[in-house]
């Protein structure tokens, strides 16, 4: 017997894909310099950076840190390495995208970006209402020899 729902399922999938493809960019709020940040997000998704609206602003907070997997190539270096990772959060606090804003170590930059993708955050809010938000999170590493 032929399944009468087979074509209906295929039709609903194709319609859903069309709707998703035509969606407007997500408006993401930021307190930073939009013209400097926007190029860093190129290719990371469809985001429109906008200023944080007036009101009582509360920045996102880390609720659970992910482990920083320090690359073996720098694990024993006593030089301090610093990375600034841009993080796009949804209104629910979920990490949508990351980008390296600044780094003095490409190996650590990749690890820091991975760490931020796995870290959990509470959302940013304005007047108690959650908003999508972009911010820069600093990550540093320096080997501390045990004496």
Give the model confidence (pLDDT) of 40-91 as tens digits: 777 777 888 888 888 899 999 999 999 999 898 888 888 899 999 999 999 9
How far apart CA 115 and CA 37 sit, in angstroms, is 20
Q: What is the mean pLDDT of residues 6-30?
A: 49
User: Quick one: tokens of 27?
Assistant: 């408006």
**Which domains does the chain carry?**
31-141 (3.30.2420.10)
pTM of the model: 0.75
Q: What angle do CA 77, 83, 87 make, to 5 degrees?
A: 145
φ/ψ of 2, rounded to 5, equals -75, 140
Q: Given the structure tokens 């972009």, which residue do they identify? A: 134
Give the model confidence (pLDDT) of 84-126 as tens digits: 999 999 999 999 999 999 999 999 999 999 999 999 999 999 9
């Amino acid at each position: 017997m032929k399944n009468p729902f087979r074509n209906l399922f295929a039709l609903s999938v194709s319609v859903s894909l069309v709707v998703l493809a035509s969606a407007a960019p997500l408006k993401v709020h930021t307190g930073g310099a939009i013209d400097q940040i926007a190029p860093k997000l190129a290719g990371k998704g469809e985001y429109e950076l906008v200023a944080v609206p007036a009101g009582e602003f509360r920045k996102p907070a880390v609720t659970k840190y992910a482990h920083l997997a320090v690359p073996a190539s720098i694990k024993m270096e006593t030089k301090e390495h610093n990375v600034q990772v841009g993080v796009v959060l949804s209104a629910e606090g979920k990490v949508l995208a990351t980008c390296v804003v600044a780094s003095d170590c490409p190996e650590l930059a990749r690890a820091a970006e991975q760490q931020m993708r796995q870290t959990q955050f509470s959302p940013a809010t304005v007047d108690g209402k959650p908003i999508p938000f972009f911010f820069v999170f600093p990550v540093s590493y320096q080997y501390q020899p045990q004496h």
